[in-house]
Amino acid sequence: MTSKLLTPVQVGDLALKNRIIMSSLTRSRAGKQHIPNELLAEYYMQRASAGLVMTEATMIAADGCAFTAEAGIWDAERVAGWKQVTDAVHQAGGLMAVQLWHPGRAAHSLLNDGAQPISSSNKAIRNDTIYTSKGAQPYEVPRALRTDELPGIVASFRKAAENAKQAGFDAVEIHGAHGYLLDQFLRDGANDRSDLYGGSIENRARLLFEVVDAAIDVLGAGRVGLRISPLVPYNDMIDSDPKLLVAYVAEQLERRGAAFLDLRHDQYDRPAEQELAKIARTTYHGTLMRNGGFSQASGEAALADGSADAIIYGKLYIANPDLVERFRLGTPLAQLDPKTLYSPGPHGYTDYPVFVGSRAEPAANAVI
């Protein structure tokens, strides 16, 4: 039987060679200056057989750090770093999107030269810690952004989209998920504002779509996508009406003709998550990408029943740079080493094996 995962798909302006998408995966290998380097170029190039390679969450501002060594894209030096990465992926025949991100309250002053975290409201992330230069620290109470500051946030995302274009990215994904800044406005569990950016879903989504529109102005709708995660509780998040949230976001993306919607599930097969996929599918007619615990078989099933147009794989891509080939051949999958997820250097990053013939061999240029 023909694998639908391995068939081409048009995503906005992009012609993808298959429907297997590499998820955004924070790996903290860009160093404390947040400059993409040769190691990142090798890592992403190894995975260029994906229909679309998505970067790790990428800082739009110098004071938007949450992971110590994540990559940024706010100035020329970091654009130059990303250019070597996109060049490597393109030379390997791949397409690449950058995920534009601000952590908001999921940051810490120790990671940002003393700057207090910002958010929609002054609610801190509860019962969790963040890793800093002084070890694990509780999350700080953020400063609620003033209404007159929000155009500056949009301008930072716009500049990041311009930089993404200059760096050679084929598309951008706006990160509106996982309890980061835009999600802190979108979901009412974090947003208690009473201005034009709080209260109704239309108001809570206002900042998100101002950012989406800025990116569309720069790149065109056919090269802009959005990630949301209405039921993912990460970073102390919740929403009182996730169905309404998905319906509104999907309808707004449809009106704009955006290239794709990345629906990040807490676990794709839970009934509540399946219902959200149905709502998104009904309202949005662009490319619906689903993400959250899919295997090869369940990904094929979602494509077959029409609940998705492409499947995003995360953890499987960490340990299997040749995931597309392994799916094609039906070969065993390598297992990731969780101890190396965020450690520096190539180990657990570029040295996972590729499957050749009947055996696994180190990836090209791997350091083992």
SS3 assignment, position 94 = coil
In angstroms, what CA-CA distances link 203 with 147, 163, 193, 340? 12, 28, 9, 41
Q: Is 180 a catalytic residue?
A: yes
pLDDT computed for residue 196 by the predictor: 98
pLDDT computed for residue 2 by the predictor: 84
**Averaged in consecutive runs of 10 residues, what is the pLDDT profile of the chain (368 residues)?**
93 98 97 97 98 98 96 98 98 98 98 97 97 96 98 98 98 98 98 98 98 98 98 98 98 98 97 98 97 97 98 97 96 95 95 74 47
β-bridge partners, 53: 22, 96
What is the chain's length?
A: 368
pLDDT computed for residue 142 by the predictor: 98
Alpha-carbon dihedral sign for residues 276, 222, 256, 72: positive
pLDDT computed for residue 362 by the predictor: 59
pLDDT computed for residue 358 by the predictor: 46
Euclidean distance between CA atoms 232 and 179, whole angstroms: 8
pLDDT computed for residue 181 by the predictor: 98
Catalytic residue among 43, 44, 180, 317: 180
Kindly give, in sequence order, each residue whose CB lies less than 8 Å from that of residue 348, ignoring residues fewer than 6 positions away: 336, 337, 339, 340, 341
Question: What CATH superfamily classification does 4-362 receive?
Answer: Aldolase class I (3.20.20.70)
SS3 assignment, position 326 = helix
Please give the model's pTM, rounded to 2 decimal places: 0.96
pLDDT computed for residue 316 by the predictor: 97
Euclidean distance between CA atoms 241 and 199, whole angstroms: 12
Euclidean distance between CA atoms 299 and 74, whole angstroms: 35
